[in-house]
Amino acid sequence: MGADMLVEGPGMSEAGLGEIDEPAFARLAERHRRELHVHCYRMLGSFDDAEDTVQETFLRAWRGRETFEGRASFRAWLYRIATNASLDLLAKVRPHPATGGEVRWLQPYPDALLDELPAEGADEPESAALARETVELAYVVAVQHLAPRPRAVLILRDVLGWPAKDVAEWLGDSVNSVNSALQRARAGMREHLPAERQDWTGREDDAATRDLVRRFTEASVATDVDRLAAMLRDDVRCSMPPTPGLQVGRDAVVHDWVADGFVGMQGLRGVHTAANRQPAIAFYQWREQEGAYLPLTLDVLRIAGGAVAEIVTFHADQFARLGLPARLA
């Protein structure tokens, strides 16, 4: 039986899914890959772990296809499997944020892939804002501080909007337990989320923020610490996962840059990109022996109140994922 002969939604027959062949099943599941991947990414904070968990989700779904009862949609059934696969991974290896809230397993999520998500709520400003906020690095980091089950409840209820009754069934809990977990998770998020939302909207008319990113890039290429410092908030945060070391405050960040030999670096170029619905800059450095600029670091910025509030720097191994060139001539 082909995937095009199945109607996806409540009422899809158990027999229909049980009789589907593997290629058709894969096509049906593949329609939901990106949204499931983002769901697992929120749960785990790691692009790579999310990729593995989605593959595990599809494998479990195929092996358990005869258990699909058709009472809910195929999409909801996949979300249930993906959530439990994420919880199983966290039960085996649950990393804990370091002192100060540093999440060393954090990885960026390319905006180009986020653009593949279904456009539900795109015409509703509040829905669009919520969707943007819940993939920002600050949100993903805050989620990592929650215990696994409250984390799952928060994402399923507040981000995805699944009813409490469905979430309770998926997690094998009561509705009261789910509601209690949600309240604990919300309190935890208030503790770890930044007080101010970021300025960046990604719109072409966001001229002030785009100008700040441009000036930050130019000052970085020139290794002009004084110009950079003038663009930082007093309480700026700077980290470089998975390398340990979180710097908080303008003075601490600038001191760290100077101590690491940033001043005087030569042959830098910056390329603007975007990750986690935030502005990002890919830095390259000239390598004489290669005769080209090669990847150096990726800075993902959070901008609030007209200044840089946070810089998360990732290693060059993230360039390919963002579709960035391996070298610049």
Last residue of a domain, one of 157, 192, 227: 192
Instruction: Pick the closest to residue 140 from 183, 105, 164, 181 (CA basis).
Output: 105
Give the residue from 302, 297, 275 showing the smallest Cα distance to 284: 297
pLDDT tens for 271-308 read 999 999 999 999 999 999 999 999 999 999 999 999 99
**Same domain assignment for residues 56 and 94:** yes
Q: What is the pLDDT of residue 204?
A: 62
Per-residue confidence (pLDDT) for residue 231, from 0 to 100: 98
pLDDT at 294: 98
Do 75 and 179 share a domain, yes or no?
yes
pLDDT at 69: 77
Among 147, 162, 192, the domain boundary falls at 192
287 shares a domain with 168 = no
- What is the predicted pLDDT for the residue at 246? 94
CB 152 within 8 A of CB 164: no
115 and 225 belong to one structural domain: no
pLDDT of residue 6: 47
* Whether residue 150 is found in the same domain as residue 234: no
Provide the pLDDT for residue 2: 46
Following DSSP, what letter does each residue of 196-241 receive, concatenated? S--S----TT-HHHHHHHHHHHHHHHTT-HHHHHHTEEEEEEEEET
Q: What is the pLDDT of residues 163-176, one digit of tens each?
A: 999 999 999 999 99
The closest alpha carbon to 145, from 183, 94, 109, 107, belongs to 94
For residue 199, being part of any structural domain is answered with no
- Residue 16 confidence (pLDDT): 58
Q: How does DSSP classify residue 4? A: G
Q: What is the pLDDT of residue 108?
A: 98
Biggest alpha carbon–alpha carbon distance for the chain: 68
Tell whether 215 and 153 lie within a shared domain: no
Considering the chain, what is the average pLDDT of its residues? 90
90 with 64, same domain: the answer is yes
Residue 41 and residue 15 share a domain: yes
Spans of the chain, pLDDT less than 50: 1-7, 9-15, 121-123, 125-126
Any domain includes 202: no
Residues of the domain holding 264: 207-322
pTM over 0.85: yes
Looking at the domain assignment, is residue 176 inside a domain? yes
pLDDT at position 130, please? 63
CATH number at residue 276: 3.10.450.50
Task: For residues 279 and 153, state if they share a domain.
Answer: no
How far apart CA 139 and CA 141 sit, in angstroms, is 5
185 plus 258 within the same structural domain: no
Residues 303 and 277 in one domain: yes
Question: In three state form, how does the secondary structure of 10-47 look?
Answer: CCCCHHHHHCCCHHHHHHHHHCCHHHHHHHHHHHHCCH
Residue 273 lies in a domain: yes
Q: Which of 137, 290, 266, 279 is nearest to 201 (CA)?
A: 279
Of 137, 168, 192, the residue at which a domain comes to its end is 192
- Alpha-carbon 160 to chain mean position: 15
Beta bridge partners of 268: 285
